Amino acid sequence: MILLLRDRATPEQLEQMLEEHKFYIKTAVDIERRVLAGGGNLHYDCEQALLDDGSQQENIWAASFMPLTGRMIFESMVNLRPRQNRSMELIDPIIRERVAQLIIEFLGNI
């Protein structure tokens, strides 16, 4: 289940987003609109939910989040954009930090 969040997730929402992968949540974040899509099987699914909600592609970045440890992995096909980011890994430290801040703000640690 993919949820769109504009505020901190409830414990129930965290559990729903963990259903697919059990220990981590696939996320995509719109760093301009401050909206997070989480859950589902692929980062792509989260990206599509944000696009359907009105986000612009250049503002969407993906990461996986492990609530129990707080660890984030900034690798996804969503992040691969020749004009903005030449790797599946999110390289720009400023964008990476903004994504991390929003993930912690919305998902935090259980």
| pLDDT over threshold 70, residue 109 | no
pTM equals 0.95
Separation in Å, CA 109 to CA 8, 25, 65, 78, 82: 11, 12, 10, 24, 33
| pLDDT over threshold 90, residue 110 | no
In the chain, how many domains are there?
A: 1
pLDDT tens per residue, range 23-63:
999 999 999 999 999 999 999 999 999 999 999 999 999 99
Domain that holds residue 103: 2-107
